[in-house]
Structure 1
Amino acid sequence: MKDELIKRRFLEDDTPSIVNLFNEVFSEKASIDWFKWKYLSSPWGSVGYVAIYKGKIVCFYGGLRQCFYLEGQVLWAYQVCDVMTQQDFRGKIFSKTPIVTMLGEMFYKENDMDFAYGFPSIRHARLQALRLGGEGYRLVSQFTKQIVSSNSNLSGINEGWQNFKSSNINNLLNRFDKNRFKFYKNSDYLKWRYFSHPLKQYSFILFKGLIRNKGFAIYTVKDDYANLVEFKAKDLEYAENFLNKLESYLIKTNIKGINIWCHQNSSYKDLLIKLGYNGNTHIPIAFKKVKESLKLESDFFYDNFFYSMGDYDAS
């Protein structure tokens, strides 16, 4: 039986079968265009591995390659995603090692990376720690506010992707993001991640001052709530002003509230509480150090990766 299981990198011809497996496992309606966008068009490359039994793809293990900066040092990571096994094969014994673990071992062996991380289910987070050397997990902090009313004017609010200018966005990102450890994003990444997404619709808002741009936000709407996937502002004063104006704009479009991810150590946390946002724990975030020479440990990652909701590939 073990000899009948084929394990390898996915081929483009595998795409329809992988999408079918994804829709079956996660009860989604993903498309072939979505898979090609994610795994064949991502800015820094993506990888995926399949397990095939009697001609049928029964397991997939994917990863998005991403760039991080640690105090000026470039680090390469993979966000593990779309890890799935067809239900009938989750308990099927081919060896002492589960199929998904076999693919994970290939993934880490064949791809150069400093570390890996992801936003798995609790079950997969435990599997990663138990079988693949992951270093536990923590829970993402999500803050939510129901918008009842807002009196802020809309001056400075410019909605629409026509306001997305690459040079302006890159300048904003370079000026505002001063964290010691950060996921490097530029305008090309943001356009791929949000504007070019084949299944979801995201809205872009530029916050302009009298002379210079002061911030931007990207959001998508689900269940009448705006999920703020990206939010950048010059400083806390402008962030407060921007959020107040954003609420005024959104309530005029019949949005009932806002969800935003905010790390517990972020300077935005106290501001969100001041503005009436309520914090709660959300899905897991998990880390695995891959290069032993890497001077990055799990506690530092968890304490200093100031994630946004859009960093989760499924947001």
Structure 2
Amino acid sequence: MAEIRPYRVGDEEQIVNLFNEVFKKDRKVNYWHWQFLESPYGQTAMALADEDGKIIGQCTLMPSKMQVGDREILGGQSIDAMVHKDFRRMGYYENLAFYSYDLGIEMGIKFRYGFPSKEALQGILEKLGGKLVCDIPLYMDVYRLDRLAAHFLKSKGLSIVLTAPIKFFIWLFKGKKVKSNEKYEFEEIKNFDHRFDELWSRVSENYGTMTTRESSFLNWRISNHPNISYKTFAATRNGELKGYIVVKDEEKLVRGKYPLKIGSIVDIIGEDEDSYIALYERAKEYFKSIKIDFVLCWILDGMYREETLKKLGFMKTKSRIPFAVKNLTDDSSIDEYIFKEENWYLMPIEADTY
């Protein structure tokens, strides 16, 4: 039986090798160091299964400072849970998960949260005592419908003709285009300074349960990401920061062979509705300049600025992302904040896969 133990310096090579084997990826050790050791909120709690010196399993809780009601507490995001194929169905996953909870509690983590696959969700609900808060709806703003159709029809001209009625109905669905009423100055952000701490201090009371948007977190998560180059646009008015939007773009293959350029709103924080509208207008300029086909955004039911984001033209798709939570303490006072969808403000910045 493998030993269940915490991370030790030097384990990272084996952990990365196991990750690449299980998930068929090509992760590098420098990415692992950034993700698990360099967070401003401390080293990730890592529970490992050690079979005679070989790492064969892992469960983790990555600490994040969370705003929960009028308090700031530590939450722990479960990422990279894995067991080598030769050791599955032997109880390791459950033992590793519960041990990671113990390690997290010692660090001061109050609750566990994560975005599990549909397969992993069943185990979380049935074996680990987690609760499904919601299936996060994925919304889409379509920019170039004819290009998507052209891949399937093999004719650009025909795609333009056939998609015209669809584009008309989309236009009707979106309704009147909203525009910002104020004038802003925009700048592209490479590093997040004290202005973002001041912005968060002013607007945080408007938001629900979420990762605090401190500059230290934003610099670690966005500016210092080892693999992804995000774009961040900040909006100022009369010299004061009013909000920011973080976006990314990528090319993906639809049905394994049709390349499309996809944009994502990774995070957006604004002082008011007008700043949200202005920030997306600026992001839209960028997306159109690089010929994005469509843009994706998370919009939870009841989420702060839900209606604003919908007014910007986003339409609900059938895609969903499970979001599950577990209270690790006896403090039931946080339950109403962490178990109710409408209390969360979730953006892809929360998830390690974006």
Q: Normalising by structure 2, report the TM-score.
A: 0.80
Instruction: Select the residue among 153, 173, 187 that pairs with 1:158.
Output: 187
Work out the CA distance in 2 between the residues paired with 1:8 and 1:155.
Answer: 53
Q: 2:128 matched to 1:132? A: yes
Distance in 2 (CA, whole Å) between partners of 1:254 and 1:151 is 22
Partner of 1:173: 200
Aligned partners of 2:307, 2:276: CA distance in 1, in Å? 12
Count of residue correspondences: 305
The residue that corresponds to 1:270 in the other structure is 307
Amino acid at match of 1:8: R
2:46 partner SS: strand
* Structure 2 CA distance for partners of 1:242 and 1:12, relative to 1, 3 Å: same
- 1:15-63 CA-partner distances (Å, limit 9, x unpaired): 0111111111122221100111111111112111111224321111111
Tell me, yes or no, if structure 1 residue 233 matches structure 2 residue 270.
Answer: yes
Paired AA for residue 226 in structure 2:
P
Given that 2:178 and 2:311 are in contact with CA atoms closer than 8 Å, whether structure 1 keeps it comes out as no
Deviation (angstroms), 1:197: 1.2
What residue is the counterpart of 2:101 in the other structure? Answer: 108
Q: Provide TM-score, normalisation by structure 1.
A: 0.89
- Contact kept, 8 Å, 1:19 with 1:32, in 2: the verdict is yes
Say which of 273, 296, 310 aligns to 1:259: 296
Alpha carbons of structure 1 residues 256 and 207: separation in structure 2 relative to 1, 3 Å: farther
1:308 deviates by: 0.8
**Structure 1 residue 192, shift from structure 2 partner:** 0.5
Query: SS of the counterpart of 2:353?
Result: coil
| Contact 1:151–1:248 under 8 Å retained in 2 | no
Q: Secondary structure at the match of 1:232?
A: strand
Relative distance call for 1:203 and 1:125 in structure 2 (3 A) is: same
C-alpha change, 1:256 and 1:151, in structure 2 (3 Å) is: farther
How far residue 133 of structure 1 moved from its aligned partner, in angstroms, is 1.3
Q: Given the alignment of the two structures, is residue 209 of structure 1 paired with residue 207 of structure 2, yes or no?
A: no
Partner of 2:286: 249
Quick check: 1:99 aligned with 2:92? yes
1:160 deviation in Å?
4.0
Name the stretch that deviates more: 230-239 or 272-281. 272-281
How big is each residue's C-alpha offset from its partner over 1:92-123, in whole Å with a ceiling of 9 and x where there is no partner?
x3xxxx10111111111233222111111112
Q: Partner letter of residue 40 of structure 1?
A: L
- Residue identity over aligned pairs, in percent, reads 21
The amino acid across from 2:104 in the alignment is N
- Gap regions ≥5 residues in structure 1: none
**CA root-mean-square deviation:** 2.4
1:90 — aligned with what? 88
Q: Which deviates the most, 202-211 or 191-200?
A: 202-211
Task: Name segments (4+ residues, structure 1) moved above 6 Å.
Answer: 149-155
Q: How far apart, CA to CA, are the structure 1 residues paired with 2:179 and 2:310?
A: 18
Q: What stretches of structure 2 of length at least 5 have no aligned partner?
A: 146-176, 252-260
Give 1:129 shift: 1.6
